[in-house]
Amino acid sequence: MIIQSAAQTGELGNVWRMIAAGTISTKLIMALLAVFSIVSWAVIVVKVRQFRRLRQESDRFVDRLEKADRLEDAFHSIMALPESPFTRVFKRGMTFYGDLRPAARNTGEVKGLLPAQLEVLRLVLEKEEGDERDGLTGGLIWLAIFATVSPLLGLLGTVIGVMNSFIGVSAAGSSSITAVAPGIAEALVATAGGLVVAIPAAIGYNYLTGRLNRFMGELEGFSSEFIGALAREGRI
């Protein structure tokens, strides 16, 4: 185990020495890849925490909603909850319904909505859902960019390194493997660096996009249930 650990330490040391002794282009590309890696991991951590918090907020919202007998009771109960996508969509729906039927909000009188008003209410809820999606997708686009660009950037560093290696071999007049190998190894470090950045970014992007789609499906389902609750109470 100690021998294996020492071997791994030696390999890492060799990689760092190759980068330190590399050309300016290799150093710049590796520095840029390091920035990509730091930013992508930061985005992943922040978004995972955000979706975990949203799950907790969603559970509290559903619990309050299930305990209420009518939408007015649910509205007063949910008003006490912290802001979340669910509470914002619900409040927006209730507020807009009250604007369409002021008498229903002010006097409690039950009045139905015209078909055109119901369609406008659906559009308002969809607009609110779209705004919530836009807010939750912040940062994910960078993971997609890093997952796509990092391998290409690493390949660019490899191509430049191989070109420099062959130019050096030609200038030295020697084509032995000992003359070519160090330059090729240095060039391949850039490709490895690009993959090290791209793989976690791609995994994080797909995982978080899946979480986002599931959450938006729940939000869209709630909007349908909201309209269904209005119909059940004879409001539309």
Using pLDDT thresholds of 50, 70 and 90, give the confidence band for residue 206.
very high
What would the two tokens of residue 53 be? Answer: 């918090």
Q: What is the pLDDT of residue 7?
A: 44
N-term to C-term CA, the chain = 72
Taking 3-state DSSP, the helix, strand and coil percentages for the chain, each rounded to the nearest 5, stand at 85, 0, 15
Q: Confirm whether 25 is domain-assigned.
A: yes
The continuous run of DSSP H or E covering 27 comes out as helix 24-67
Domain range spanning residue 166? 14-232
Indicate the residue type of 217: G
The continuous run of DSSP H or E covering 233 comes out as none
Q: Mean pLDDT score of the chain, rounded to an integer?
A: 79
Q: Confirm whether 194 is domain-assigned.
A: yes
- Output the furthest CA–CA distance in the chain (Å, rounded): 95
Q: For 41-63, how does the pLDDT look when each residue is reduced to its tens digit (9 = 90+)?
A: 999 999 999 999 988 888 888 88
- For residue 201, the SS3 value is helix
Specify the number of domains making up the chain.
1
Q: What does the pLDDT average to over 76-88?
A: 83
| Distance between CA atoms of residues 71 and 85, nearest Å | 18
Q: Confirm whether 58 is domain-assigned.
A: yes
Residue 195 vs residues 30, 135, 151, 189: alpha-carbon distances, Å: 12, 29, 6, 10
- Which of 99, 102, 77, 120 is CA-nearest to residue 227? 120
Among 14-28, 64-78, 122-136, name the most confident range.
Answer: 122-136
What would the two tokens of residue 81 be? Answer: 């909850």
Q: Above 70 in pLDDT, residue 9?
A: no
Looking at the chain, the whole-number percentage of residues with pLDDT higher than 90 is: 24
Q: For 85-105, how does the pLDDT look when each residue is reduced to its tens digit (9 = 90+)?
A: 888 888 888 888 877 775 444
Q: What is the pLDDT of residue 141?
A: 92
Q: Above 60 in pLDDT, residue 26?
A: yes
Using pLDDT thresholds of 50, 70 and 90, give the confidence band for residue 188.
confident
Q: Confirm whether 143 is domain-assigned.
A: yes
80-92 burial, b at 16+ Cβ within 10 Å, e below that, comes to eeeebbbbbbbeb
Q: Confirm whether 5 is domain-assigned.
A: no
Q: Confirm whether 3 is domain-assigned.
A: no
Q: What is the pLDDT of residue 205?
A: 95
Q: Confirm whether 125 is domain-assigned.
A: yes
Q: Confirm whether 9 is domain-assigned.
A: no
